[in-house]
Amino acid sequence: MKKSLSIIALAALAFVGCSKVTPESPKTADSKEKDVPIEFNAYNYLSRTKAEGNTKFDESKSFEVWSYFSDGNFSASSSYLYFQDKVSYSEGKWVPANTYYWPKTGKLSFFAVYPTDVTGIALDTENNNLKITDYKVTASYAEQSATGAGNDLMLAEQKNQTSNTSTYFTEGVSLLFKHQLAKVTFEGKLRNDKSYDSTNEAIKVEKIYFTAVIDEISLSGLNNIGTLALSGTSAAYAWTPKTDKPKVNSGEIVDMNYSKQLTEAFELASALPAKEYKKFENEYYVLPQTLGDDAIITVKYTVYAINSDNNKVISKTVYDGAEGNHPAFTKKLNSFSAAALNEWKINTVYDYKFILDPFEGQILFDPAVAPWDEVDAAEEYIHKDVDQ
């Protein structure tokens, strides 16, 4: 995933005399103490409940670590870069590419970022933390899908350490990685309070099945570039989207990839279910942001009528807004009713559920009795006067 970050000026940081620590730490002549190498204990914080707990960091992945030395509590104005290196899992330990040792004086603070190709990260002189400026989340779902977990952005920190701390899974500096982006997922099913056939778990009227497939779900009007930094009021990380950039579209996220013409056999199992929600595997990473009125979700779908005797398509109607078709479903993302969902927050998955109704409004009748037709016959006299 391409990432665009600008480097924060470090002029205010007194990095005079900083140098990379060599693999062998100096010792006094009479010292019998072994130098202690710096190792890490990586811990991946996912969006789970407290009861479920957290998970091990993927041992096949690596992360980047920045270490700063200070003689007291960490402060960006009085800290010195100790090392920056990639950390990987090797022989049961998380170790940097080069070996570094704990100093016998002072303290070390650590900041770790996944993935390792994030560039332009620097100290935030105002908040004494790392800051990422103008980070770019890939807008196209097709591009996100190609890179998978590489779309994620995670950050961990551990300040003012004097030795390894073992809290999670391995011996080493404890790093609790938290996701800094948000994710959007989707689920869908058929409305089943009308003509529901519990035997087949489908919508059925006499010998006709009614079902639907989702042809496309897409998002538009989103911010995808922003700066991540500590919020001064809450002491938590927050995003500031770059609003002077054009809004972006996701392109096609969900596609059930099922198109059947009339008389073709239809597999009901491949369509939307009528009992439980079908959860799509598609996950779309987004920049945490407040959702404006121009942030829109669009759902394109097709409704089918199926002959239950042979599963052949009797009729289909497409809702995609194309010429000759019906309009697609569109809705403002900030108008979903659940908890006034007008914001995407850090480390949160937003699951949008849709219920497609294969029927229009209820069939009603307007009965009336037509008046009798009136026909006037010609006049005729009974016992007509013979003189006439």
9 has a pLDDT exceeding 90: no
299 has a pLDDT exceeding 80: yes
Residue type, 47: S
Residue closest to 238 by CA, chosen among 289, 177, 293, 195: 289
Each residue's pLDDT tens digit, 19-48: 333 334 444 444 445 677 777 665 544 444
The arithmetic mean of pLDDT across residues 220-248, rounded, is: 89
Each residue's pLDDT tens digit, 182-200: 999 999 999 999 999 999 8
- Whether 204 contacts 197, CB under 8 Å: yes
- In the three-class reduction of DSSP (H, G, I as helix; E, B as strand; rest coil), residue 148 is classed as helix
- pTM for this predicted structure: 0.81
- Whether 121 contacts 129, CB under 8 Å: no
Other beta carbons less than 10 A from residue 349's beta carbon: 13
